[in-house]
């Protein structure tokens, strides 16, 4: 199996993959894509499950995306993942987008059904399972604060929390307008007969210590979906003084074992986990 295949390979897949066994029937499309670790995650899982298929990388440029998707059925694919920069463009190129992916504004998984292509997003369901496995709790029972709700991952997480009808959802973003716009979009999920406490069930806040301090009093789970903490030397996304022992802190960043946020959370006695479990469950 090659490290990376291209559109030219996909146009004549039997020739490009002659002799490959099990056959290559799953992939990730990206540009760039060589860095993707998805094959290392999925191929051992396929082998362990005894499935006659393997997973490969396809370097597909934006202008090649439509043709590449339409070649999948004839090439015998079961489906493909799509990563940067295709997650939003793919929505207009498949035959059907499931409702959660439509609301999240991104598709990361395309399933081939006959000649039809169906788009899904697995980030939200992956996050729900990750929270259950890390903290033995369900999102729907929690008061959740999403940091970075205006980014791609943050939006997908916030939409999932709203669809789960969690107890309370606080959307925080450095560029406040994005959080405010998302709160307006998600408001319909929070209409209904749940008991109202002293705080709003849905609100948007700027990323400023004052408003965050009081909101954290009424928060169970803080999810960092910003990219702050990915690079060595990044400051903590929240001042350490805001963290409290009652919190569960989940950092979606998985490249660092312990981001500054997680280190600060553990130092005050809060429970903390990094994004590896979300990566695993969205992939599964």
Residues involved in catalysis: 87
Distance CA 265, CA 273 (A): 10
275 binds ligand NAP (CB under 6 A): yes
Residues of span 20-79 touching ligand NAP by CB under 6 A? none
CB of 74 to ligand NAP, least distance (A): 31
Q: Which residues contact 252 (CB under 8 A, 6 or more apart)?
A: 127, 153, 157, 223, 224, 225, 275, 278
CB of 193 to ligand NAP, least distance (A): 32
Residues of span 207-266 touching ligand NAP by CB under 6 A? 207, 225-228, 230, 237, 252-254
Neighbours of 40 (CB within 10 A): 9
- Radius of gyration for the chain, computed over Cα atoms and rounded to the nearest angstrom: 20
When binding is defined by CB under 6 A, the residue of 178, 182, 238, 249 that contacts ligand NAP is 178
**Cis peptide bond prior to 264, omega within 30° of 0:** no
Distance CA 163, CA 166 (A): 8
Interface with ligand NAP (CB under 6 A), residue total: 25
Contact string 115-154 vs ligand NAP (x = CB under 6 A): --------x------------------------x-xxxxx
For ligand NAP, the closer of residues 152 and 211 by Cβ is 152
CB of 110 to ligand NAP, least distance (A): 17
CB of 21 to ligand NAP, least distance (A): 31
- Residue of minimal Cβ distance to ligand NAP: 151
**Cis peptide bond prior to 172, omega within 30° of 0:** no
For ligand NAP, the closer of residues 75 and 101 by Cβ is 101
Which backbone phi and psi does 202 adopt, to 5 degrees?
Answer: -140, 125
Residues of span 155-174 touching ligand NAP by CB under 6 A? 173-174
For ligand NAP, the closer of residues 7 and 263 by Cβ is 263
Chain centroid to Cα 87, Å, comes to 11
When binding is defined by CB under 6 A, the residue of 38, 160, 259, 282 that contacts ligand NAP is 282
DSSP state for residue 92 in the 8-state scheme: G
CA angle 127, 133, 139 (to 5 degrees): 50
CB of 65 to ligand NAP, least distance (A): 18
CB of 15 to ligand NAP, least distance (A): 35
Distance CA 215, CA 217 (A): 5
Q: Residues 149-158, buried b or exposed e (16+ Cβ, 10 A)? A: bbbbbbbbbb
For ligand NAP, the closer of residues 186 and 207 by Cβ is 207
For ligand NAP, the closer of residues 172 and 247 by Cβ is 172
Distance CA 214, CA 270 (A): 17
Residues of this chain that bind ligand NAP (CB under 6 A): 123, 148, 150-154, 173-175, 178, 207, 225-228, 230, 237, 252-254, 275, 278-279, 282
């Amino acid at each position: 199996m090659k490290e990376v295949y291209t559109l030219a390979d996909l146009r004549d897949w039997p020739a490009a993959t002659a002799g490959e066994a099990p056959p290559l029937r799953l992939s990730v499309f990206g540009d760039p894509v060589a860095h993707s670790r998805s094959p290392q995650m999925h191929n051992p899982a396929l082998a362990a499950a005894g499935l006659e298929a393997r997973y490969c990388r396809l370097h597909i440029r934006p202008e090649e995306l439509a043709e590449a998707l339409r070649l999948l059925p004839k090439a015998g694919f079961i489906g493909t993942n799509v990563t940067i920069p295709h997650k939003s463009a793919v929505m207009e190129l498949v035959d059907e987008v499931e409702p959660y992916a439509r609301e999240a504004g991104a598709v990361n998984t395309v399933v081939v059904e006959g000649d039809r292509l169906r788009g899904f997003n697995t980030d939200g369901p992956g996050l729900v399972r990750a929270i259950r496995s890390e903290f033995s709790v369900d999102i729907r029972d929690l008061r959740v604060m999403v940091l970075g709700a205006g980014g791609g991952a943050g939006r997908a997480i916030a939409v999932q929390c709203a669809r789960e009808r969690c107890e309370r959802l606080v959307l925080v973003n450095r560029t406040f307008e994005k959080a405010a716009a998302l709160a307006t979009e998600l408001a319909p999920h929070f209409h209904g007969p749940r008991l109202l406490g002293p705080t709003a069930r849905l609100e948007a806040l700027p990323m400023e210590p004052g408003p965050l301090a009081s909101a954290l009093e009424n928060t169970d789970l803080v999810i960092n979906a910003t990219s702050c903490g990915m690079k060595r030397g990044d400051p903590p996304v929240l001042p350490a003084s805001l963290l409290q022992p009652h919190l569960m802190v989940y950092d979606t960043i998985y490249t660092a074992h312990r981001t500054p946020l997680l280190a600060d959370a553990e130092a005050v006695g809060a429970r903390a986990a990094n994004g590896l479990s979300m990566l695993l469950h969205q992939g599964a």
